[in-house]
Structure 1
Amino acid sequence: MRRHAAALAVVLASAAGITTAAAPDAQAWRPPPVKACGATAADKALAATLSPTIHSAGLAGVSADQVSCARQILAEVKAEGFTTQAGKIALMTAITETGLRNYLGGDRDSLGLFQQRPSMGWGTRAQIIRPSYSTHRFLAAMTKRYPKGSWARTDPGRVAQNVQRSAYPSRYNRERTSAARLVAALWKGSSAPSAPVKPTKPAKPTKPAPVSSAQALVVPGGGIRVRSGPTTAAKQIRFLRGGSKVTATCQRAGKSVTIGRYRSAYWSYLPAQKGYVSNAAMHRNGATALKAC
């Protein structure tokens, strides 16, 4: 990523939930270390194809690891049942904040692809530097500020700004084209296969696990969205705030449930809300016991 040090300093200075004054002196500033997102051979090949077409304020081509970071962001967006528009907004934000680099530092205590701050309640350091978690928190903040899907009807740059609270609000829309090209290239394969592994002996068939009994749970800090019924036309029916107490019945008896565009055999039914929620979303920050479901 070819950019002046001063420009990148400004990017990192506009971390989520903060405002800053002037960028540090370019001669004194050094970029923080990066935690690799873990590029695959497919990411490397795609980066070679995409690089000549991606040029914006935050990107001058893309590396294999930048493609990997973008792929993991979109995988989380899809897993939570959002649309390509949400993926575009998330990528516009990450490109603007860090150029799709998972930084281990930034302005004050800012971290990760979205430059979220532990001191501002975005999560712990270990959580924020996980692309899936930081994306989840970004989406949770987006839906909180734009309930009932209103984010999809709002200018994407404004949505990103209202989540990040940057001192430079006009920068996000400059990354529309780059984000759109990445979404177009990665959306269908955003759960891209990793490097091939050696085949193993097939496991002995086992009987499907029974549906678990009802259990009392606490909604994680970022909150969760409950989706109605096992249908590809499932709609969001409620957003449950973090700390809410719910009763859930796990569905795992060998049958997958399709919620929106995401299919998984690990969903829980919340009787009071008459809808399903992904188990992954329930225990993402370790705040609930729903891990053995």
Structure 2
Amino acid sequence: MTFTATSGLLISAGLILAGPGVAAADTDTDKEIAATLNTELDDDMAGNMTDEHVDNARAMVEAAKDRDMGEDAATMAVATSIVETHLDNLDWGDRDSVGLFQQRDHYGSQEQRLDPTWATNAFFDELNRVYPDGSWDDTPLGEVAQDVQRSAYPDRYQHQVDDAEVIVDHLW
């Protein structure tokens, strides 16, 4: 893979890498991926994927890769965000919740929680606190997501795992 440096950005195969491990595809590529996903997804995001949703999901995938956590971790993050925000990076929510995961103030500043990579890493940090040393590996992803998020609606996460796997497969 070759990289070309341009104004502090690295460009390779249509991807713009904004710093180590943070990839953001060009809008045309994201629109193409969204269009493909819109025909392959079966649940909440079916027909509702946009280039912004693809970019947000990509940030989750890249954070999982950067931490050597694997596709299941990325799938869990995407499924959780589908439940919480339908992959929208919301600057509003219930009480003080914001971002892709509707994280509360104790996670960090509003600016931090609105950064998709930062928010995903905060989600993974909490995952590691709840399930140290990858001890979640044999637990259904929806159950693990609930244990991390502590939602009043515990059964919602597993329902989105299949579509999250499809999204992650396209971006991994």
> Shorter-chain TM-score category?
0.7 to 0.9
The 5 A counterparts of 1:253-264 are: none
Choose from 161, 172, 183 the match for 2:168.
183
The 5 A counterparts of 1:114-125 are: 114-118=101-105, 121-125=106-110
In the TM superposition, what is the alpha-carbon distance from 1:161 to its structure 2 partner? 0.3
In the TM superposition, what is the alpha-carbon distance from 1:52 to its structure 2 partner? 1.0
- Asked if the contact 2:38–2:45 (Cα under 8 Å) also holds between the matched residues in 1, the reply is no
2:50 is matched with: 63
* CA distance 1:103–1:86, change in 2 (3 Å): same
- Asked if the contact 1:39–1:68 (Cα under 8 Å) also holds between the matched residues in 2, the reply is no
Cα deviation 1:74-124 (Å, max 9, x = unaligned): 111111111111111111101110000000001001000000011xx1000
3-state SS of 2:108 partner = coil
1:136 is matched with: 121
Cα deviation 1:169-223 (Å, max 9, x = unaligned): 0000110111010111100xxxxxxxxxxxxxxxxxxxxxxxxxxxxxxxxxxxx
The 5 A counterparts of 1:1-293 are: 40-56=27-43, 58-61=44-47, 62-118=49-105, 121-187=106-172
In the TM superposition, what is the alpha-carbon distance from 1:149 to its structure 2 partner? 1.1
1:224 is matched with: none
How many equivalent residue pairs?
Answer: 148
Q: Distance in 2 between matches of 1:167 and 1:50?
A: 29
Q: Distance in 2 between matches of 1:86 and 1:40?
A: 25
Q: Which has the higher strand share?
A: 1
Q: Distance in 2 between matches of 1:126 and 1:50?
A: 29
- Asked if the contact 1:69–1:100 (Cα under 8 Å) also holds between the matched residues in 2, the reply is yes
In the TM superposition, what is the alpha-carbon distance from 1:38 to its structure 2 partner? 8.3
User: For residue 70 of structure 1, what is the amino acid of its counterpart?
Assistant: A
User: For residue 71 of structure 1, what is the amino acid of its counterpart?
Assistant: R
Q: Which has the higher helix share?
A: 2
User: For residue 43 of structure 1, what is the amino acid of its counterpart?
Assistant: D
Higher RCO structure, 1 or 2 (CA under 8 Å, sep 6+): 2
* CA distance 1:46–1:143, change in 2 (3 Å): same
**CA radius of gyration, larger in:** 1
Q: Which residues of structure 2 form unaligned runs of 5+?
A: 1-23
Q: Which runs of 4+ in 1 moved over 6 A?
A: none
3-state SS of 2:100 partner = coil
The percentage of counterpart residues that share the same residue type is: 41
The two structures have a TM-score, normalised by structure 1, of 0.49
Q: Distance in 2 between matches of 1:70 and 1:178?
A: 12
Cα deviation 1:226-261 (Å, max 9, x = unaligned): xxxxxxxxxxxxxxxxxxxxxxxxxxxxxxxxxxxx
- Asked if the contact 1:38–1:65 (Cα under 8 Å) also holds between the matched residues in 2, the reply is no
The two structures have a TM-score, normalised by structure 2, of 0.82
Cα deviation 1:256-279 (Å, max 9, x = unaligned): xxxxxxxxxxxxxxxxxxxxxxxx
